[in-house]
A and B are shown apart, each in its own frame.
Chain A
């Protein structure tokens, strides 16, 4: 199993540009998540999904959009990039139920200039 994969690993955007961060998992997990990690701030939940066709906002959803058309994929869209979106983005997935581990992708380092 590849686990949770993310592309790209690095990206530099100009203010106002758009991009999609890709995330895929091959563990047939229902739950998928997008976090951003800023220095000293821990991980903040952007969006999450409990199954194909279902998405919900986390703590910091503004400036982002998601879709979940399949169980495997959970892309994160930035429509108008802003410097405040400079961060490391992590995708994660989890099987539902008590005590189940959440698996993380390797992260995407995004810089907006």
Chain B
């Protein structure tokens, strides 16, 4: 079955520390993966997508097909990065979401 797993419900770091939010997927075929972010009291919005190989707000994510992972990384966390992060996978016409990881960045 197609599935996205985010093993951490909560990740707490101090400002300036590196961050890695884990995402593993199960998919038969070539996956199309995304990271979405939800800041407090705001709607979900796209952070980045694997096909663009882009860096947004200092975040990057590399698709590792061997490990079936798409971990989100940032070398130096900022307080404004505190939010809920969702990894998602396109399955046919639908986005499948993981359960999300809440990132807390302390000053």
Contact = CB atoms under 8 A, between A and B. Distances in A.
Please tell me the size bucket of the interface on A: 20 to 34
A99 B51 contact: yes
A104 interface: yes
Interface centre among B44, B49, B86, by most chain A C-beta atoms within 10 angstroms, is: B44
Given A40-B9, A42-B86, A42-B99, A102 B46 contact: yes
Contact of A101 (B6, B9, B46): B46
B59 interface: no
Interface string A15-45: 0000000000000000101010000111101
B43 A106 contact: yes
- The contact size tier of chain B is 20 to 34
B41 to A, nearest CB: 9
Interface string B1-15: 000001001000000
Contacts of A50: 93
A102 B49 CA distance: 11
Nearest to B44: A104
Given A40-B99, A43-B86, A90-B44, A31 B93 contact: yes
B84 to A, nearest CB: 9
Given A90-B43, A106-B43, A107-B43, A43 B49 contact: no
A48 B94 contact: yes
Contacts of B51: 98-99
6 contacts: A90-B43, A92-B44, A92-B95, A99-B49, A104-B43, A107-B43
Q: Which 3 A-B pairs have the closest CB atoms?
A: A42-B99, A43-B97, A104-B44
